[in-house]
Amino acid sequence: MSAGMASAAVDTYDYTDAATLVDFGGSSTNSNYFIPPANSPTDSPYYRGSSEDWGWMHDAIPGASSASEIKLNVSNYDVDDVCGGSSCEVDNIYGYDAAGNAGAGEWLLIGALTGMDNAYSFTEFTLDTALYDDVETGLKLWMDIDVLTAGWIVTLAKSVITTAGESPGNPNPGAQVPLPAAGWLMLAGFGGLAAMRRRKSKS
């Protein structure tokens, strides 16, 4: 994971991170259920249903409270298109506002996951400004799975917070965030130098 000033900060929570105790209205979890890349997306305990809600907590991002816009991208597998009916899949993501409810704290609904059947994809959310100070200290998130108890199951691969429009990267588990263009140019330059050395050594 990485964190920096709000002008350019990305924090990714995935299978490599330590579990965090998160309490949601009396329900609590202290396990990391983001799936490792070696596992099948339908493996237990990562493929979870309505009675298996869980939460996680991002690292603190210094200066995030002064950001102009903060995005949350959650990579999910097998979230079917929301259709508005009683049998549709609804998986809600909540963020904890520690200063809300007159300082007592409250969970704010960020939105529902969207995605593709049997594939990994990101759902992008624009966070409410009430959560910016929580991003600065470490945002707690909670997933309420299959709200309509219609029998749907979902797997998460990663959760990515960005503060300046950065790319969340590849939604697949374990995939790295793409390098900026300058980074690829540097690598191309190093590759060119290596090729020159090989040609010189053969001459």
Q: Tens digit of pLDDT for each residue in 74-107?
A: 999 989 865 655 678 999 999 999 999 889 899 9
Q: Where are the domains of the chain?
A: 10-178
Dihedral sign of CA atoms 174, 35, 146, 19 in order: negative
pLDDT in tens, 174-201: 875 544 434 433 434 434 433 333 333 3
Backbone angles phi, psi at 10, to 5 degrees: -130, 130
Per the omega criterion (within 30 degrees of 0), is the bond before 45 cis?
yes
Question: Which token pair is 85?
Answer: 């009916």
The CATH fold assigned to 10-178 is Jelly Rolls (2.60.120)
Name the residue with tokens 């374990």: 174
Please, are residues 18 and 63 in contact by the beta-carbon 8 Å criterion?
no
pLDDT in tens, 7-38: 569 999 999 999 999 999 889 999 999 999 99
